[in-house]
Amino acid sequence: MKPVSHERREKEIARLIEDFLANLARALPKHEEHEYSVEETEEQMKGVVTILSALSQRWSLGIIFLLYMRSLKFNELRELLPGISSRTLTDKLRMLEGSGILTRSVMTSAPVRVRYSLTTSGREIALSCLPLLYQLRKQKLAS
């Protein structure tokens, strides 16, 4: 059996993501148009700015995508993110928890262990970032 080339694997992944997004677009219900007041729009924009601020920080997306796959303990996250310091990981986890993207569960065992997992909102954010990551990957392949 021939090994699959890296470029061929990338194209296959891109095709799978395109298919996933097309199926998702068909499955989503069509929303009725709704006019928003200035106050409603400003309130929604505050939420968007908060989330984008959290996502734009280094390590945030990596943490979110790792937690999308499964909940992890602190040391598991640190091992899966080469180059991140314990202090930086702690800061990012606190920031993401404060933004409502992940939850922190303390397990009452000896020694005490902490497990992190995405909230429903965090899972939705991870899924909504897939098209962006796909486009970035597509541009990288084209250049």
Which of 19 and 115 is assigned the larger pLDDT?
115
User: What pLDDT score does 107 carry?
Assistant: 85
pTM: 0.66
Q: Which of 128, 122, 117, 125 is CA-nearest to residue 20?
A: 128
Q: Report the C-alpha gap between 41 and 46 in whole angstroms.
A: 9
Which pairing describes strands 113-118 and 72-73: parallel, antiparallel, or unpaired? antiparallel
For residues 99 and 142, the answer to whether their CB atoms sit within 8 Å is: no
The DSSP 8-state label assigned to residue 62 in this structure reads: H
Task: List strands edge to edge, sheet with 72-73.
Answer: 72-73, 113-118, 102-107
Specify the CATH architecture of the domain 7-26+59-142: Orthogonal Bundle (1.10)
Contacts of 107 by beta carbon, 8 Å cutoff, 6+ apart: 113, 114, 115
Q: In degrees, to the nearest 5, what angle opens at C-alpha 92 toward C-alphas 88 and 95?
A: 140
Among 9-18, 42-51, 65-74, the minimum mean pLDDT is found in 9-18
Percent of the chain whose predicted confidence (pLDDT) is above 70: 87
Domain residue ranges of the chain, discontinuous segments joined by +: 7-26+59-142
Work out the pLDDT band at 28, boundaries 50, 70, 90.
low
Between 123 and 137, the more confident residue is 123
Span 89-128, pLDDT tens digits: 999 999 999 989 999 999 888 888 899 999 998 998 888 8
| Residue 85 burial class via C-beta count within 10 angstroms: exposed 0-12, middle 13-18, buried 19 and up | exposed
31 — pLDDT class (breaks 50, 70, 90):
low
Predicted pLDDT of residue 33:
65
- Please say if the pLDDT value at position 37 is more than 80: yes
